Every structure is written in C-alpha cells, then in structure tokens.
Amino acid sequence: MKFIHDFISLVYPNICASCGNSLWKHEKIICTFCDLHLPRTDFHLDQDNPVSRIFWGRVIIKSASSLYYFNKGNRVQHLVHQLKYKGRKDIGICLGEKYGQMLKNSPLFCSVSLIVPVPLYKKKLMQRGYNQSEQFAEGLSRTMQIPYDGRALLRTRATETQTRKSRFRRWQNVDGLFAVTDPAKLSGHHILLVDDVITTGATIEACIQEMIKVPDTSVSVASIAVTLL
C-alpha cells in the first residue's frame, strides 16, 4: 500500500502529499485539514525552546527552531520521505514558503540576511538529483525575501547513515566534514542554516563550527522537523 501511495503522489500531485486525499482547487501540495493539524512546534516564538537546547554548551547560535515535530509513522515523516526519496522537490519549497512567512515575522529571525542549506556529498547529490535542504532554503528565500546560497558550504566526504549511531558516534561521523567555500560571502551576515530533520544536531553543529570561524558571522538554525529524543 505504501508503494502505491508513493506512486500515486508522484504521478498525481493533485492529492495531498501528507494524507493522500484529493486536493480542492484552492489547495496546493498539502490539504487544509493537514495544514491545520500537522504537529507544528511554534518554537520560532520562543528563544528557549527544545531545538535551541540541543546546541547548549556545544556551539554558539543566535536562535534555533523547527516547523514540525517528527515522529516515526506520522504524516510529517511521510512528507519528508517523499521530499528526500520520491522526487517531490515541490514539498520542500512549499514548506519553506510556509515557514518563511512565520520566521520573517519573528523577532528571533527577522535579522537573518542569508540562508544556507546543509549540503549533500557530490555523489549523493548526483544520485538524488537535488538537495532536499536546498529546496527548503529556496522556499524560505521566497517568502523571507532574502537570498540563499547552496554553495556556501562543501561536504568533503561521504558518511555513513546517522540513524542507528549514538550521539558520540554521530559527532565522530561528521567531525571535519564541512568546509566554507568562500568566507568573504558569509562575513557580516546573520546566517540561517537549514536542514530537513534535526535529531542530535551533530551535522548542524559540524557546519556551524566552520561557519563561525568567518569574522563577523552569526548563525541561526531552522529545519522542517525535529525529533526530540
């Protein structure tokens, strides 16, 4: 059934990417019911939130937030799965546009001047054809009306999946994994670093460690979803 649902979602994009029900003419990507009932966090309104706390004592950031809670089997997982593995780039852009409207009106994020997605390794990017985090960044850029740079960070090597690793092993897996391609392009910016799902924050932390080496640079974090362990 799952395969059939994924196939129908790809061939017939006029069904809701979250629940699979038909969309009305005024609806786009996600139906009104799901839009109202997906588990939104509203963390962008609170400086001291669970996503921010992930990075306490690890790396200095200005703010951090996620649009949705991610739980195994929920509709958010289905959205992310279609975005990453089923070619549904439009989901990333749609969610980015939605979240961008919220973030640009938040005192915590209104000073962001550049959006940077977490990069994929070049081999995986060629296999997938796109970076799901960059699709999210593009949507954010449209509604926040600030630029995004999909080449600001470089992933220097392939890594093993993080799914079954401990927190320490996740950190080891990404240590020294990223490099800033042109520091001059980041200097002076409040950067919004974005990813699809935050779990332990190890990947985000590795990116930030490199970015804050650039003078006069500050970093905030946003993702489509967060898994709270």
**How do the domains of the chain map onto residue ranges?**
1-37, 40-226
Query: What's the mean per-residue pLDDT of the chain?
Result: 91
pLDDT at 1 over 60: no
Domain range 40-226, CATH class: alpha beta
Q: Which residues pair with 28 in a beta bridge?
A: 30
pTM, entire model = 0.89
Q: Is 12 helix (H, G, I), strand (E, B) or coil?
A: coil
* pLDDT tens digits, one per residue of 102-133: 999 999 999 999 999 999 999 999 999 999 99
Check residue 33 and report its DSSP letter: H
Contact between 80 and 196 under an 8 Å Cβ cutoff? The reply is yes
pLDDT at 39 over 60: yes
The β-bridge relationship of strands 114-117 and 190-198 is parallel
The CA-atom distances, in angstroms, between 166 and each of 139, 170, 175 are 32, 6, 14
Ramachandran quadrant class, 181 (left: phi over 0; alpha: psi -120 to 50; beta: rest): alpha
Check residue 7 and give its pLDDT: 58
